């Protein structure tokens, strides 16, 4: 009972901190504070990583639910990916960041129970997307990997809600869907101008922080003791 109360308190504090950081991110973006914005963005990511690590360290290492530890692994890779995309945030750092996010989606696909058919579908898509983009005149590696990441994420979102609905918590389903909303917003921000561009830019972290929070909570609840 004592551990349960402590864990609930930690989760409450975590939710409050993430809410505050999200507000700070939007304020910093509005004020165009640049580097400070990126630092706060990464702090929001680190907060999720810290809570995930806490539950992995206490329960995940000896848990019977080894499959759920793939969420913790995905969060660890996410922290490294966002290191490139937020704190470093240069032209050269975009490619490794997007590659790492593709790895995150592969890890989450394994958590969702991806079988041979799912793996083949993803491999075919990863081959077809660059070919299609090449014939469309798009050869920039960052754009190509970004589209592959989006396609892999879309596969995971569909799988979470339909193919794996009996194995996956509602929290993870919501988290992966918000993750997809974030990536779609990034794509629209990149490809559009005017009002659509502005709305998409505003929504990126509105989707992303809650996505990480829901995924973190899905892991914490699975690994927490029931008493």
Buried b / exposed e across 2-19, counting CB within 10 Å, b at 16+? eeeeebeebbeebeeebe
Hey, what are 23's tokens?
Answer: 């507000």
Contact 112, 168 (CB under 8 A): yes
pLDDT tier, 2 (very low <50, low <70, confident <90, very high otherwise): low
pLDDT at 222: 83
The first and second tokens of residue 170, run together, are 């509602």
Three-state secondary structure of 4-49? HHHHHHHHHHHHHHHHHHHHHHHHHHHCCCCHHHHHHHHHHHHHHH
Residue 65's pLDDT is 67
Query: What integer best gives the mean pLDDT of the chain?
Result: 93
State the pLDDT confidence band at 64, using cuts at 50, 70 and 90: low
d(CA 91, CA 95): 8
What is the spatial distance between Cα 210 and Cα 216, in angstroms, rounded to a whole number? 10
CA 136, CA 90: separation in Å to the nearest integer? 26
pLDDT of res. 28? 97
- Residue range 203-226, pLDDT digits in tens: 999 999 999 999 999 999 888 776
Question: Which residues touch 160 (CB under 8 Å, ≥6 apart)?
Answer: 112, 168, 172, 173, 176, 177
Q: CB neighbours of 133 closer than 8 A, spacing ≥ 6?
A: 139, 143, 144, 147
Cβ–Cβ < 8 Å for 152, 106: yes
**Mean pLDDT value across residues 20-33:** 97
| Average pLDDT of the residues in 94-106 | 97
Provide the 10 A C-beta neighbour count for residue 163: 18
pLDDT score of 107: 97
Angle subtended at Cα 6 by Cα 61 and Cα 167, rounded to the nearest 5 degrees = 50
Q: Output helix, strand, coil percentages for the chain, rounded to the nearest 5.
A: 85, 0, 15
């Amino acid at each position: 009972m004592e551990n349960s109360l402590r864990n609930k308190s930690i989760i409450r504090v975590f939710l409050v901190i993430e809410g505050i950081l999200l507000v700070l991110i939007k304020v910093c973006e509005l004020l165009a504070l640049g580097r400070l914005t990126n630092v706060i963005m990464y702090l929001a990511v680190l907060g999720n990583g810290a809570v995930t690590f806490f539950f992995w360290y206490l329960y995940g290492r000896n848990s019977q639910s080894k499959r759920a530890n793939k969420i913790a692994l995905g969060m660890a890779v996410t922290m490294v990916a966002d290191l490139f995309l937020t704190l470093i945030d240069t032209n050269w750092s975009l490619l490794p960041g997007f590659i790492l996010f593709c790895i995150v989606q592969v890890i989450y696909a394994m958590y969702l129970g991806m079988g041979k058919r799912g793996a083949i579908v993803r491999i075919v898509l990863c081959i077809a997307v660059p070919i299609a983009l090449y014939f469309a005149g798009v050869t920039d590696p960052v754009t190509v990997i970004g589209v592959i990441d989006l396609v892999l994420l879309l596969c995971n979102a569909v799988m979470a809600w339909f193919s794996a609905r009996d194995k996956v918590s509602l929290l993870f389903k919501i988290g992966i869907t918000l993750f997809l909303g974030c990536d779609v917003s990034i794509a629209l921000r990149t490809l559009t101008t005017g009002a659509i561009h502005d709305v998409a830019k505003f929504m990126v972290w509105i989707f992303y922080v809650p996505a990480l929070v829901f995924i973190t909570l899905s892991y914490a609840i699975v690994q927490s003791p029931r008493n």
